[in-house]
Structure 1
Amino acid sequence: MKRGFLAIGALLAGVAAPELRAQQSAGDAAPPIEWRRGLVYARRDALELALDFARPASADRALPCVLAIHGGGWRQGRREDVHRVVERCVNAGFAAAAISYRLLPEHRFPAPWEDVCAAREFLAAHADELGLDPERCAAIGFSAGGHLALLLGTHDEGTEPGRPRVRAVGNFFGPTDLSASELPERAERLIADFLGASGDAAAPLRRAASPRAHVSAGDAWVRSFHGTDDALVPHAQATALHEALRAAGVPEALHSRIGAQHGWAREELEADLDRLLVRWRSELRGGGLHPLRLREDFESASEDGWWLSDAAAWRITGESGARALEIVAKRSSYAPKHRSPLHLAVRKDLAVESFVLDVDLRSTHASYGHRDLVLVCGWQDAEHFYYVHLGQQADATSHGVFLVDGAARRRLEGERGAGTPWGERWHRARLVRDVESGAIELYLDGVETPHLRAVDRRFLRGCIGVGSFDDTGRFDALRLYAAPGEAK
């Protein structure tokens, strides 16, 4: 059966949101949840707008918060429709709020967007009372709610300086470009109703209401979930948004449900929501989602800013538009005092605490057991730092998180999967450091569980870098997200 905007309220009320089960192990009781219902966050003439707030009853510290926004074609739906989403967020360790907002036909754009902004401001203003961290807030929405969540994460034109923003967005099949030519006729009718205008007169409103039009560096991180056979909000809406996010250097991920239409079965939706919350546990709860601090594509053909352990072993290689930082020689003249990687490129001008580092990397060495590349963090000096060793095979000295602390490197105890399947292709790595918990996590090629993980709080602030123990390889598309800090 085709599912459209006008049916999405029924979809979320009858299939997706309320029937989402609380996240828990089989046979385990869900942990107690503390609810505060009906908190009025704004008044519009005689209309009171309210939200329902929840957090783990046992929480004893400020928590990151998730704002849950129901769908319904901007015309129908209630905050109760996403209560189960809120419960699932709380059971994953977040505070969360389900909000009401003004609906058609009485209220058109920009009223709903103004309301979600007001709800975000209310949570920030009452952070101490509610026990949440105002700097770590995300928004999640379904269909029309996904559209509003995206606006909250991208649209800052005309807003007051310092207005609270969200740091991450979970967008489930929401429209992203209300000016797009591929929109079906029924979606066009809904958009005209939402904007209160059509034809040429609607053009400025279409742009103002389109998240894609407002994408810029520093926007919220976006994860979208969209069906490839969506007949109401075409899958092309999601791909176009994520192309714009990538071009702006905004962290993003698009998860496409093959063959799915506008919404999908409860079990699949639960799996996607869990996938989102797993990443947010690392990124939001782990102190991530910081501003972009360093963007390096090596197109300047210069190693300026990088300390190189052996300058003769490193080069910027490749043609314009496809350049990369490369280790070109296996041998190195660098002789570390203690056994540790020979090939290192470190950004000594940036000292960071919690961070997320994204980088493309490719091993160019022939295949053998200890074929490797490394990522460096917590760098104090050449005798004190961490490195994450992506080895082809896992053994005592290969493939793990290692510590160099005035002595030969040693592997930290922790989680590790099978070795790195280098092959002859590029891989995308994400290194996440959370100084609060001490976690160092390495994710590879978009897999949701860590490829490598260890916990250590020895070096809580330091520089980042790339390299290899003693092999060759290439690095490109490096993005460092971290809170502002002093140069080292």
Structure 2
Amino acid sequence: MKNFFILFVFLPFLVGAQSTFPKDTSYTISNTYQKEIKKFPFISIAKTLHNENIKSEKQIVYQQTATRDLHLDSYLFQSKKKLPAIILLHGGGWKSGDKSQMENLATAIAVKEYNCFAIEYRLSPEAKYPAGYNDVKEAIAFIIKNAVRFNSDPNKIAILGCSSGGQMAALLGTTSPNEIQAIVDLDGILAFHHPESEEGKIAAEWLGGTYEENSKNWIAASALTHTNKNTPPILFVNSQWNRFHAGRDDMIRILNQNEIYSEIKTFEKSPHSFWFFNPWFEKTVTFTTQFLDKILKKE
């Protein structure tokens, strides 16, 4: 009876450990809209209509960590042939945001005959770098392993990220060229310690200290560090704010030296999180799918 009582008392805590972790909810579409509409009164939140050709499945477990499950959401275009897989990573300063913020973009891209996967990864309140990076690596491995289930071509994988997710996408693309064939970076930095960069406290929270305290992580987490002849083609879609593409021009010089294809699309007079809003949402989708068609659907 005593052992049973102890188990009864502690069971709720054991169960709760699976889903209870520090969560920062400061970065949401709604909050961002309320902030940006003061500067851009003509904007509206983009909405993607339901499409009968897209089959979605939410909360697919791709990894079990010591404390909880990690999930992804799939948005699959219904096709008889295997389609390229697009990995999507949300933004939020490596500390906030969630995969649901990628639903509109994932659906709009999937309609163009792609299979899209929005990935949950651990953020700085829960785990420091490289935990989130490793999580996405595991998600990609899971998708490749389950390529038949997802009707996806494991040899045609692209990664797309927004803001801090764009930084992650570029990093994963430059360090995993055998798995990733194309990168789409929506206003994500390419180098943390760089003359154009203004990253400070938020980056330090994710990287386990300031540059002076942990320069190794600041360098290792920068896609520019790893850019070489093996880097996949990359599309940069940027706002007007230079700080959000720190290191981009240096990266392009290396890409050009190695004859690697890249594109830059810039939205002048736009907010940083332009992908959430009209009038930039559709153009973002168009730029992205035209680039992906060129890289992943060429004969």
1:9 maps to: 27
Contact 1:154 1:220 in 2 (8 A): yes
TM normalised by structure 1 equals 0.51
2:168 maps to: 148
SS at match of 1:128: coil
1:43 maps to: 64
In structure 2, what residue type is equivalent to 1:54? Y
Change (3 A) 1:38 1:89: same
CA–CA distance in structure 1, aligned partners of residues 290 and 196 of structure 2: 33
Q: Where do 5+ consecutive residues of structure 2 fail to align? A: 1-23, 37-43
Contact 1:12 1:81 in 2 (8 A): no
1:188 Cα deviation from its structure 2 partner: 1.1
Larger strand proportion, structure 1 or 2? 1
Aligned positions of 1:25-36 closer than 5 A: 30-36=51-57
1:90 maps to: 110
Q: What percentage of aligned pairs have identical amino acids?
A: 21
1:176 maps to: 190
1:260 maps to: 270
Change (3 A) 1:81 1:174: same
CA–CA distance in structure 2, aligned partners of residues 83 and 7 of structure 1: 17
Change (3 A) 1:8 1:245: farther
SS at match of 1:81: helix
Contact 1:8 1:73 in 2 (8 A): no
2:290 maps to: 278
CA–CA distance in structure 1, aligned partners of residues 212 and 104 of structure 2: 41
1:169 Cα deviation from its structure 2 partner: 0.9
In structure 2, what residue type is equivalent to 1:238? R
Q: Where do 5+ consecutive residues of structure 1 fail to align? A: 1-5, 24-28, 157-162, 287-433, 435-488
Contact 2:211 2:218 in 1 (8 A): no
Change (3 A) 1:153 1:280: same
1:211 aligns with 2:229: no
Change (3 A) 1:194 1:213: same
1:261 Cα deviation from its structure 2 partner: 4.3
- Larger-Rg structure: 1
Aligned positions of 1:258-407 closer than 5 A: 258-264=268-274, 265-286=277-298
Contact 1:242 1:254 in 2 (8 A): no
User: What do residues 199-227 of structure 1 show as CA deviations (whole Å, max 9, x unaligned)?
Assistant: 43321111100001100112121000112
CA–CA distance in structure 1, aligned partners of residues 68 and 136 of structure 2: 15
CA–CA distance in structure 1, aligned partners of residues 132 and 205 of structure 2: 13
1:251 Cα deviation from its structure 2 partner: 1.3
CA–CA distance in structure 1, aligned partners of residues 205 and 27 of structure 2: 17
Contact 2:181 2:233 in 1 (8 A): yes
Aligned with residue 70 of structure 1, among 90, 93, 110: 90
Change (3 A) 1:244 1:190: farther
User: What do residues 371-404 of structure 1 show as CA deviations (whole Å, max 9, x unaligned)?
Assistant: xxxxxxxxxxxxxxxxxxxxxxxxxxxxxxxxxx
CA–CA distance in structure 1, aligned partners of residues 144 and 241 of structure 2: 38
Contact 1:121 1:164 in 2 (8 A): no
Bigger relative CO (Cα 8 Å, ≥ 6 apart): 2
User: What do residues 85-137 of structure 1 show as CA deviations (whole Å, max 9, x unaligned)?
Assistant: 11011111101111100012221110111011111111100001111000001
Moved more, 270-279 or 239-248: 239-248
Contact 1:228 1:235 in 2 (8 A): no
CA–CA distance in structure 1, aligned partners of residues 195 and 294 of structure 2: 38
Contact 1:12 1:71 in 2 (8 A): no
Contact 1:225 1:254 in 2 (8 A): yes
Contact 1:8 1:71 in 2 (8 A): no
SS at match of 2:149: helix
CA–CA distance in structure 1, aligned partners of residues 296 and 131 of structure 2: 28
User: What do residues 315-373 of structure 1 show as CA deviations (whole Å, max 9, x unaligned)?
Assistant: xxxxxxxxxxxxxxxxxxxxxxxxxxxxxxxxxxxxxxxxxxxxxxxxxxxxxxxxxxx
Change (3 A) 1:235 1:258: farther
SS at match of 2:69: strand
1:235 Cα deviation from its structure 2 partner: 4.3
CA–CA distance in structure 2, aligned partners of residues 280 and 13 of structure 1: 31
RMSD: 2.5
In structure 2, what residue type is equivalent to 1:99? I
TM normalised by structure 2 equals 0.81
User: What do residues 280-315 of structure 1 show as CA deviations (whole Å, max 9, x unaligned)?
Assistant: 1232123xxxxxxxxxxxxxxxxxxxxxxxxxxxxx
CA–CA distance in structure 2, aligned partners of residues 153 and 136 of structure 1: 13
2:260 maps to: 250
1:103 aligns with 2:115: no
Moved more, 245-254 or 98-107: 245-254
